[in-house]
Amino acid sequence: MRKIIEELEPSPIRTIANSAIDNKDVIPLWFGETDIITPKFISDSLKSALDKGHTFYTSNHGVHELVETITEYTSKLHKNTITSKRIMVTVGGMNALMISAEAIINPGDKIICITPVWPNFMRCIEIMGGNVIEIPLILSESHNKWKLNLEEISKKINGARGLYISSPNNPTGWMMEKKEHKIILELCRKNKIWIIADEVYERVVYDRKVAPSFLDIADKNDLLIVINSFSKSWAMTGWRLGWITIPDGMLHIFEKLNEFNIASPAAPIQHAGITAITEGEDFISDMIKKLSQAREIAIKNLTSFSKVELPASSAAFYVFFKVKGVTNSESFCINTLRKSGVGLAPGTAFGKGGNNWIRICYAKSPSLLQEAFNRIKPVLS
């Protein structure tokens, strides 16, 4: 076994969750998914695809109609012309991240990662023999808000192969503004380095239709890879369907990577993806209403607990908070699981500086969520 793989940090969330994954008494707020079963119109579409015999290999690019549907959706959403040769379907956002790493990272390459962030792409970098250079967000004390450390990014960008950034951000709920996208894009253009932008939470926003995206402003020739997924927008985490937006002229290369990684996502699931996009806007609106209510419950509870420090957040379905006196968030999460039966995610999972932070995914029903807060109130007050 490769040393690098043996030593690859496992997901601390998985490590804690595995100990109690079959325990029905635990309220699981650790994973990044809602408790909403995928809506029936999407499941019906899969059933219909099976009835039509869509059970064979598809092209590496993806089922033609799905690629066209994603192309139109993305172009409209970002008011930019994206051609279908810049879109390729993937097995969720994860597979899109792994093939991005394979495409650009040679052993020893440095990739800047803006943290805290969902850690999986950092592990992809390591699998490919690259080096992760973390540049944490700064918590502006005065505004209690997360912001980019542009000074540090400017200093370290020279000599890097790429920059990985995820907005709306898991775990902080931070959302990058348009002017910051412009600054990052210009900086990366000047230094000719890749941007890998994980935008899977672009529809999980509370004051607009879609989050600002690099796709709003980038040209077709920018060294930009945007990761997207059906998981969060259409409650399809278990379906493993996503897509990648790539620069013009590179499809034939990414198709090879699909061929040699997964061939393609499952054929009937690709057909259901068409329906998710074309008929899913009402579902997204309803889901955002529910999430908005859950968000209020989470913020109201947490701000009332004396030991909790909660920065402002504006998107995704997480709250990321500090607990006074806690110096090891993994032990804290294990103890809280034992004592209160609530599954929390330790901040250590998301890169440097997360050691006394905790993430909660609040995408649960109001009653279950309130029950969880009632249970953990004693340890947080």
Pairing of strands 224-229, 242-245: antiparallel
| 75/131 with CB nearer a copy of itself | 131
Give me the least distance between CB of 270 and a copy of itself, in Å please. Answer: 9
Taking the CA atoms of 27, 32, 38 and 39 in sequence, report the sign of the dihedral they define.
positive
Residues that bind a copy of itself (CB under 8 A): 1-2, 4-6, 8, 10-11, 14, 18, 21, 31, 33, 37-38, 43, 46-47, 50-51, 53-60, 91-92, 94-95, 98, 102-107, 120, 123-124, 127, 129, 235-241, 250, 252-253, 255-257, 259-269
Give me the least distance between CB of 128 and a copy of itself, in Å please. Answer: 8
Tokens coding 34: 């809602």
Tokens coding 258: 């699909």
Give me the least distance between CB of 6 and a copy of itself, in Å please. Answer: 6
| 49/148 with CB nearer a copy of itself | 49
Tokens coding 241: 């369907």
| 30/174 with CB nearer a copy of itself | 30
Q: For residues 101 and 113, what is the distance between their CA atoms, to the nearest angstrom?
A: 13
| 41/206 with CB nearer a copy of itself | 41
Give me the least distance between CB of 196 and a copy of itself, in Å please. Answer: 13
Q: For residues 92 and 265, what is the distance between their CA atoms, to the nearest angstrom?
A: 8
Give me the least distance between CB of 95 and a copy of itself, in Å please. Answer: 5
Give me the least distance between CB of 200 and a copy of itself, in Å please. Answer: 12
Neighbouring CB atoms inside 10 A of 141's CB total 8
| 122/342 with CB nearer a copy of itself | 122
Q: Distance from first CA to last CA of the chain, Å, rounded?
A: 46
* CB-based contact 243:262 (threshold 8 Å): no
| 151/259 with CB nearer a copy of itself | 259
Tokens coding 21: 């994954």
| 120/370 with CB nearer a copy of itself | 120
Three-state SS annotation for 301-338: HHHHCCCEECCCCCECCEEEEEECCCCCHHHHHHHHHH
Give me the least distance between CB of 164 and a copy of itself, in Å please. Answer: 14
* CB-based contact 140:188 (threshold 8 Å): no
